[in-house]
Amino acid sequence: MKTRRQFLMQSGMTAAVWLTHGRVLAQAAGESVAQNVGAGQVPPGTNASSPQSNPAVQPNPDLPQQLRTAAADEKIRTTKLTDTIFLLQGVGGNVVCQIGPDGKLLIDSGISTGTHHLVDALAKLDEHKLKLLINTHWHFDHTDGNAEMHSEGAFIIAQDNTRIRLSKPQYMAVYDVHFPSVSDAALPQETFSETETLWVNNDQVDLVHTPDAHTDSDIFVRFDRGNVIHTGDLWFNGMYPLIDTGSGGTINGMIRGVDQVLALADERTKIVPGHGPLGDKGALQRYREMLVTVADRVEKLKASGKTVEEAVAAAPTADLDAVWAKGNLKAGTFVALVYESL
């Protein structure tokens, strides 16, 4: 097993890349994820969270295939954020690429069937090769292109739990979808627990873990000089977010994660959400207010003894839905997930 420093020396990146908290990847899969990891072995419909009994579930077992079909024909939209940082949007989660003489740094890899479109879009940015890929969390729509990007030359970095979850079958209860473990080529090659800092292409790139947020594997990525932050799926801009409670996600962890991002942002920071359009601090603050409002209301319902079904039926987000229920998550599903996580 090579350390990343050894890897980078071989790939010519050491001059500009320094590591903090770097360490050899020798994580034994499965040691630190407690919740629901083993649920991948449970056949659909036989567990306590079956779609019939759980108002949080919007069953769509074909979701991965639907996304793969859509991604095969997707056109990548490229938006220049700074002279060296670009936003690339297609069917999967939002992708960011930083370019420069050290090589390309990519944040998230999209859907595997759309990777050739992404590779074409990257080639148009500059002549340097892809060197690093950061995964914001384990979800399929952010990591499905990992193996292809690794074969393009990317060394993959993620939070510990991203590798652990990708190494084993996963069950995503909210959509009733089973994901098999991924190939070795798709696994992160270096992982970290809390924070990691890279110096790449004349910028400082901070990777910060936000525990128990959208999942238990989330990080946000901040370009210090570029003044750009990729929030991963802490932020669905303009819509109710998915909280993957089966992967350790919680509403309060999401709020804490958003607060961490807000503390680092100023009025000019370009903030890339995991899904939805490019945003800024004001938009993220409005999203935070919505999260806090819903969490407070659902907490009161739960404290008063309402069941999750009764809490959903009370429609505590009715006055918010016109603005926030525009994504693919229904208001009732969001309420049920918030309830579950409190």
Which residues are at the interface with Zn ion (CB under 5 A)?
139, 233
Q: Round to whole Å and give the CA distance between 231 and 224.
A: 14
Per the CB < 8 A criterion, the answer to whether 135 and 188 are in contact is yes
Going from the C-alpha of 24 to that of each of 134, 204, 291, 333, the distances in angstroms are 16, 21, 37, 40
Question: Smallest gap, in angstroms, from Cβ of residue 17 to Zn ion?
Answer: 27
Going from the C-alpha of 63 to that of each of 8, 44, 323, the distances in angstroms are 36, 14, 25
Q: Which is nearer to Zn ion, 21 or 326 (CB)?
A: 326
Question: Smallest gap, in angstroms, from Cβ of residue 207 to Zn ion?
Answer: 16
77-80 and 203-209 beta bridge pairing = unpaired
Please report which helix (H) or strand (E) contains residue 178, including its range.
Answer: strand 177-179
Q: Which is nearer to Zn ion, 2 or 178 (CB)?
A: 178
Question: Smallest gap, in angstroms, from Cβ of residue 274 to Zn ion?
Answer: 6
* Sign of the CA dihedral with 54 first, then 67, 341, and 165 last: positive
Q: Which is nearer to Zn ion, 223 or 235 (CB)?
A: 235
Provide the 8-state DSSP code for 275: B
Burial bucket for residue 252 (CB in 10 Å: 0-12, 13-18, 19+): middle
Please report which helix (H) or strand (E) contains residue 205, including its range.
Answer: strand 203-209
Half-sphere exposure of 1 (CA within 13 A, CB side): 9
Question: Smallest gap, in angstroms, from Cβ of residue 4 to Zn ion?
Answer: 25
Question: Smallest gap, in angstroms, from Cβ of residue 91 to Zn ion?
Answer: 14
37's tokens: 């990891």
Q: Which is nearer to Zn ion, 171 or 311 (CB)?
A: 171
Q: Round to whole Å and give the CA distance between 5 and 17.
A: 8
Q: Which is nearer to Zn ion, 295 or 329 (CB)?
A: 329
Question: Smallest gap, in angstroms, from Cβ of residue 242 to Zn ion?
Answer: 6
Question: Smallest gap, in angstroms, from Cβ of residue 28 to Zn ion?
Answer: 25
Q: Which is nearer to Zn ion, 160 or 233 (CB)?
A: 233
Q: Which is nearer to Zn ion, 148 or 233 (CB)?
A: 233
Q: Which is nearer to Zn ion, 196 or 233 (CB)?
A: 233
Q: Round to whole Å and give the CA distance between 183 and 322.
A: 42
Question: Smallest gap, in angstroms, from Cβ of residue 214 to Zn ion?
Answer: 6
Per the CB < 8 A criterion, the answer to whether 177 and 59 are in contact is no
